[in-house]
Structure 1
Amino acid sequence: MRPSRSVIAAAVAAVAMGTFTPAALAAGQAGNDDQNFVVTVHQGNLAEIAAGTDTRMNAQDTCVKDVGRTLVKDHTKLDTDLRALAQKLDISLPDKPTEAQQAQLKQIQGKAGTPGYDTAWLKAQADAHQATLKTIDDEIARGDSAQVVAAAKDARPVVAMHLDMVRGGTCHVMG
């Protein structure tokens, strides 16, 4: 079986950068950009799970609570799959969202039990899902690891659906 052009291109690039080892190529390890993608998306999943869980106690609008439940369910599934891939590719994952993600949720929680919470939560989710879609699209277009690109392609419709649910900072429950 002949290696694909992308495998050959990755090997050539790795040789040029001095990071090539035959064992790494055989193991199908992800490059630095692919690893960064996995870590970034994992932390995004953790942030979405925390934000979705938070709506149970702090949102006033039923639609926001419904979207929150959907985020928890979908991002838990996405992250379970991503963790398995990270383990397979020997990518170390952090155990919590970024400091900025944690700070944003705390800021939103400061409006708990008010309509301002729902508005701030929806806007934050719209921004986060828009950024995640860009990250996913970048990985699909430029990723070196076929496995990581496949994970990005699998996640894309879920994240796009979530964006549709919060687009423009307005809540839309999908059927």
Structure 2
Amino acid sequence: MRTPRPAPAAAPVAACGLAASLLLGGCTAMARQSGDGGAQPPQVAAENARQATVPTEWGPLGPADRVLLVKVRQAGLWEIPVGREAARRAARPETRRNLAEIARQHERLDELDRTLAAQLDVPLPNQPTAEQQSWMSEIGGKSGTEYDKTAVARLRMAHGQIYPQVAAVRASTRNTLVRRFAKQCETFVHAHMTLLEGTGFVTVDTLPDPPSVTDAPEPGGPGQGRTPAPAATSVIGG
């Protein structure tokens, strides 16, 4: 592992607000001195450590960056065994083929993740979360097409959750290694969602509710023909 060199201080990572609530510990509680010389409670010191941005020779490493490495690792810890099992147990050939491919791709993604975590000195978990373990049990308890439907629904939901987190880190990280890794993650996640949708089991009832927005245009009513918008180049001044 390369020894980090001090880097200029940087503003906090913009994506921290999105991912900080998903942090998974990993820092040992310790007492730190407060500004007035008094010791901080261990919980406060531990939380400060989790939220810290540290310098590396590749740029500042923030909490959202570290969360991404952890969450990619945990995704592989449950999606690899589910994909391998589905290759044997799924009822439809599309499910067997596509989920097996997702497992293979996660093996490669896990290799990239572990290499980067070692470079940046980020500890990684070695088992799925309790929620992920419950999904694995739920899937394993099904059979026939219900097995396929449940496996695809859980995997698709998980990919839909991490998709915006990957994008937020890709858009905001100040660390060049993490930026490259987030870009790789985008490619993998997009490919996995396409593979899941290719099984035919991604249906309206398996998708989450659409996000709330405040600036959507009003829908056109029946029989209300609308003139197509002109080309942007025709309305741009100059």
TM range (shorter): 0.7 to 0.9
TM-score between the two structures when normalised by the length of structure 1: 0.80
User: How many angstroms does 1:89 deviate by?
Assistant: 0.3
- Structure with the largest fraction of helix: 1
Q: Which of 73, 83, 89 does residue 52 from structure 1 map onto?
A: 83
Unaligned runs of 5+ in 1: 1-6
Alpha-carbon spacing, 1:62–1:34, altered in 2? closer, same or farther (3 Å): same
Instruction: Map residues 30-109 of structure 1 onto 2, 5 A cutoff.
Output: 30-109=61-140
**Equivalent residue number for residue 219 of structure 2:** none
Aligned to 1:162: 192
Q: Tell whether 2:127 aligns with 1:129.
A: no
- 2:146 paired residue among 112, 116, 126: 116
Deviations 1:61-81 (A, max 9, x none): 111110121011101001101
Which one scores higher on RCO, CA 8 angstroms, separation ≥ 6?
1
> Share of identical aligned residues, percent?
26
Letter in 1 for 2:126: D
Give the superposition deviation at 1:33: 1.4
Alpha-carbon separation, structure 2, partners of 1:29 and 1:53: 37
Describe the shift of the 1:28–1:153 C-alpha distance in structure 2 as closer, same or farther (beyond 3 A). Answer: same
Q: Which has the larger radius of gyration?
A: 2
In 2: Cα distance, 1:101 partner to 1:138 partner: 23
How far apart, in 2, do the equivalents of 1:157 and 1:110 lie?
A: 31
Q: Which runs of 4+ in 1 moved over 6 A?
A: none
